[in-house]
Structure 1
């Protein structure tokens, strides 16, 4: 049976995502995102499920940095979960004076806490499930958690379906070592890269122009500092399409020429099923025809 590590402990949204992506694999909770990625690199597990972005709080830095550094890993699938929380307390809890959770979770229920627990002090925890464990141990009075946490910890559900933004969602990736075959293109795919561009005027614009000139639609752009060199940044870019497509391959080749370093982070089906937008003259057949024309000219077969 294959093994999949996920950002734990038990009872996190990442566990819920891992259940969707794992099939019949054994799920193994680990304490941090870097440890989950390290377990894949060491061959201790077959894959890892990690969060990559939230529609309210943005990108997850630990995942971005973990994918950009050390040995390459490649995303083979993604899951998109609606984010609504439960608030858990001990059965004998009295007045709620402290509420613990991951900082991203606390930010997404701030208005609810102000309205329903105005005297409670928010406290950051390493994960939503770690907050539940701390409440069980008597360290805090309440925890903002994923609903699945109620299955793992003997706590009382004070409230559920809690969210300041009702359509908030988090995207999770299933990452593996790169020797695994890539998923086949479906027409509703996402490709991810991280690029280190030169630190000069117009570098990012030039990078993005390679995608725009080929009619490729971006779905995410984030910048993170390259920790080894102050003032230098890496650009994390998601866009529609699959590396198996001629138009995407052509764009990646151009980016590789322009950037000091480009790391491929995967091509896989989109969890939302949205098909790629194809601009006129930017379809795969157009790129194949153009390539064939150049080959014919080189061979002296046409003008």
Structure 2
């Protein structure tokens, strides 16, 4: 079974269907923490959750939930283009209210201003929750994922709606710690470091990556919600933990931040870019081994 951030009819369901086998049961949960807890408890084998959007940035609920509780590791990712449908009840009249998740509304605000300028915009817990509310008569229209029409008998007023044509959302499939996916040469590694309160700690973390020629693809900060001024840094980098240079870098990050949590090494959904080599790290390790054994200098 695969848990996902629901309800039915969301982009997360669409992403989850890409991961699941045809026979696998998909189980929607109302919140990201609930979906992750299902995987932690063994109620499901996996969980699929959104992690970042190219327009609105990181998904705070996912970031916080991965940093807390029992560890989970990502084993796969998906990147979906964000194109919305505007749905209404069959036989609807004038559209006076439009509902959706805040991230969705932010990505279609210009379209709404042009096509539904007098409609009141209302935030809901998810795009699918907005579709259900329209079906129940609470609102006139919903901005939803196209997959929502599979579950809700609504009329499509418009589709392929997006202010930013290249907008995308990235999703992760996570599970309790397990044997990691084999490196492919185009992998991503994710960690979260809780930084101690000292001068230069972030510069030290970034220097460890730069010294090893590792490309940093994302860094976000979030408060720990405990002591004021204490932050976690969420880091995505190119490479796989099994690679010498990446393993060496993660060990260095842990030296600077003992509260470092490994969040997974997994194939990129969109492979590309240069692949850094590990030859110099292998050669250096062999040289050091020879020195320690008295076989070289």
1:63-212 equivalent positions in 2, closer than 5 A: 63-178=62-177, 180-212=178-210
Shift of 1:121: 1.0
- Of 252-261 and 43-52, more deviation after overlay is shown by 252-261
Task: List per-residue Cα deviations over 1:164-208 (Å, max 9, x = no partner).
Answer: 000100000000010x21100000000000001122221101011
1:274 is paired with a residue of what secondary structure? coil
1:148 is paired with a residue of what secondary structure? helix
Number of equivalent positions: 296
Shift of 1:297: 1.4
Cα RMSD (Å): 0.9
Task: List per-residue Cα deviations over 1:227-281 (Å, max 9, x = no partner).
Answer: 1222100000000000011111010111111113100000000000225532xxx
Contact 2:183-2:242 within 8 A present in 1 as well: yes
Contact 2:51-2:59 within 8 A present in 1 as well: yes
Work out the CA distance in 1 between the residues paired with 2:226 and 2:40.
21
1:239 is paired with a residue of what secondary structure? strand
2:146 is paired with a residue of what secondary structure? coil
Work out the CA distance in 1 between the residues paired with 2:150 and 2:292.
66
| Unaligned segments of structure 2, at least 5 residues | none
1:271 is paired with a residue of what secondary structure? coil
Contact 1:243-1:267 within 8 A present in 2 as well: yes
Shift of 1:21: 0.9
1:253 is paired with a residue of what secondary structure? helix
Work out the CA distance in 2 between the residues paired with 1:34 and 1:120.
33
Contact 1:187-1:275 within 8 A present in 2 as well: no
Report the TM-score, using the length of structure 1 for normalisation.
Answer: 0.96
Q: Which runs of 4+ in 1 moved over 4 A?
A: none
Shift of 1:16: 0.5
Work out the CA distance in 2 between the residues paired with 1:86 and 1:76.
30
Report the TM-score, using the length of structure 2 for normalisation.
Answer: 0.98
Work out the CA distance in 1 between the residues paired with 2:278 and 2:53.
31
Contact 1:189-1:275 within 8 A present in 2 as well: no
Task: List per-residue Cα deviations over 1:50-84 (Å, max 9, x = no partner).
Answer: 00000000000000000000100000000000000
Work out the CA distance in 2 between the residues paired with 1:147 and 1:60.
21
Work out the CA distance in 2 between the residues paired with 1:292 and 1:252.
20
Contact 1:79-1:173 within 8 A present in 2 as well: yes
Shift of 1:92: 2.1
Contact 2:185-2:275 within 8 A present in 1 as well: no
Please name the residue that 1:61 is paired with.
60
